[in-house]
Structure 1
Amino acid sequence: MSATVDLAAELAAFGVATCYEAAGRRGLLDLPLTCLHPGTAVAGPARIAACGQGDNRAVHEVMSHVQPGDVLVLRMPRPEPVALLGELLATQAEQRGAAAVLVDAAVRDVGPLGRVGLPVWTRFVSVRGATKAQRGAVDVPVAVGGCIVSPGDWIVLDADGGWTTPAPDIPELIEKARARVEREAGLLERYRAGELSYDLYGMRAEDVG
């Protein structure tokens, strides 16, 4: 596998919570997200469609830019329940090799989307159709869930939601995430043996004092 594929697999295995904590509690995509493929965890570089309000022309355009492993980020200026993605566009993204789609708006065709096989996270589900009158922009920075996501930033998505970080921050993040995973594995063993976090963190002694 390529280094990018290996990195995506490791970040997905860490998951959103570990990445967020390892990053000093930065990078949380703080918006309500529904995963249409429960149990899925993915990671990859952002490929962005900045749509006009209520319009998905930019989503059609971005499909020609998708590279294998990309996480598509679909955004409009104000989130509203207008469907930027449905079965037809999801099929194109899946055929282009996208790893996942994050929709800070709505999707429709939920049943067929589940069969396409492309993991989708969305703020809303709505059959309200988008117009195709505004070109919007492709691969420009966008605001999502309190973060600025730029093209090529890494995104992790799982059952807990979403997290992002600029690509240059990844090596340090990986080191901290690995250390966190190792530390938590040790704690799990102690908890399974009957120890309590109340004692390990010294809270009991503080309360007694």
Structure 2
Amino acid sequence: MSAAAGDIAELARLGSSTVYEARGRRGLVEQRFQRLLPGSRVAGPARTVLCAQNDNRGVHELVSRLQPGEIAVLTMPEPEPVALIGDLLVTQLKERGAAGVLVDGAVRDLDELVGMGVPIWARWVHARGAAKDRRGTVDAPVRVGGATIRTGDVVVLDGDCVVVVEAEEVAAAVTLAQARERKEEASRRTYLAGAISYDLYGFRAQDQGEE
């Protein structure tokens, strides 16, 4: 099932934390990534590749299949600080219309990548290069930070974290996240009017009852 472009844009606007919380704290990628492009936030359907260990030949094949607006999700069996991409592969991804890149491994050519303006989240920045000997598997379901990401699932990336939403649940995720946003905005107005959460949540009464 393909997610609607408007729903994907709305998930990016709402942000990873809101989407995660609204869905019952589901879909969180439990791994910290470096956001290379300051201030970037993006969502898009994943295009996955499970590279052979320490080998990026699969990334070259992924580039040939990538569709505009997709997030390239690059993995290998055991994450290591091996550079799966650098400026030449990112040049190709940019020309193919990639919305962003998630690398459960390393990138290199950091200064060049930042200047290219493609939103990239990487586990490491490291110069150690990858081999190009084994094909890997494009469009394989991959595991990143304990979460499964399939090609077509929507990945939400920003300064907080990375969250994955199953392709068939994107519309529902938007509805839930919008409802949470409205609830939080109502709470914000209440706090701006002088109320505090310690009282609204009933914590003061509970604490006083324990004294």
The equivalences for 1:145-160 within 5 A come to 145-160=145-160
Q: Secondary structure at the match of 2:13?
A: helix
Task: Determine if contact 1:5/1:69 at 8 Å carries over to the other structure.
Answer: no
CA shift for structure 1 position 207:
1.2
**CA distance, structure 2, for counterparts of residue 108 and residue 194 of structure 1:** 49
Task: Determine if contact 2:7/2:170 at 8 Å carries over to the other structure.
Answer: no
1:50 equivalent in structure 2 = 50
2:97 equivalent in structure 1 = 97
CA shift for structure 1 position 52:
0.5
Residue identity opposite 2:138 in structure 1: V
Task: Determine if contact 1:23/1:173 at 8 Å carries over to the other structure.
Answer: yes
Q: Secondary structure at the match of 1:52?
A: coil
Q: Does residue 80 in structure 1 map to residue 80 in structure 2?
A: yes
Q: Secondary structure at the match of 2:15?
A: helix
**CA distance, structure 1, for counterparts of residue 130 and residue 190 of structure 2:** 53
Task: Determine if contact 1:55/1:133 at 8 Å carries over to the other structure.
Answer: yes
CA shift for structure 1 position 5:
2.8
CA shift for structure 1 position 32:
1.5
**CA distance, structure 1, for counterparts of residue 34 and residue 41 of structure 2:** 13
1:144 equivalent in structure 2 = 144
Residue identity opposite 1:160 in structure 2: D
1:70 equivalent in structure 2 = 70
1:17 equivalent in structure 2 = 17
**Cα distance per residue 1:73-106 (max 9 Å; x no partner):** 0000000000001000001001101100000000
**Cα distance per residue 1:97-140 (max 9 Å; x no partner):** 11000000000000000111110000001000000001001001
Query: TM-score scaled to structure 2, two decimals?
Result: 0.96
Task: Determine if contact 1:17/1:160 at 8 Å carries over to the other structure.
Answer: yes
Q: 5+ unaligned residues in a row in structure 1: which ranges?
A: none
CA shift for structure 1 position 20:
0.5
**Cα distance per residue 1:37-87 (max 9 Å; x no partner):** 111110000001110100000001100111111011000000000000100
Residue identity opposite 2:24 in structure 1: G
Task: Determine if contact 2:71/2:99 at 8 Å carries over to the other structure.
Answer: yes
The equivalences for 1:28-39 within 5 A come to 28-39=28-39
Task: Determine if contact 2:48/2:72 at 8 Å carries over to the other structure.
Answer: yes
Q: Secondary structure at the match of 1:81?
A: coil
Structure 1: 4+ residue segments shifted above 6 A: none
Q: Secondary structure at the match of 1:206?
A: helix
The equivalences for 1:189-208 within 5 A come to 189-208=189-208
* Aligned-residue RMSD, C-alpha: 1.0
**CA distance, structure 2, for counterparts of residue 132 and residue 4 of structure 1:** 35
**CA distance, structure 2, for counterparts of residue 7 and residue 165 of structure 1:** 11
Q: Secondary structure at the match of 1:28?
A: coil
Q: Secondary structure at the match of 1:31?
A: coil
Residue identity opposite 2:106 in structure 1: A
How many residues are aligned here? Answer: 207
Q: Secondary structure at the match of 1:173?
A: helix
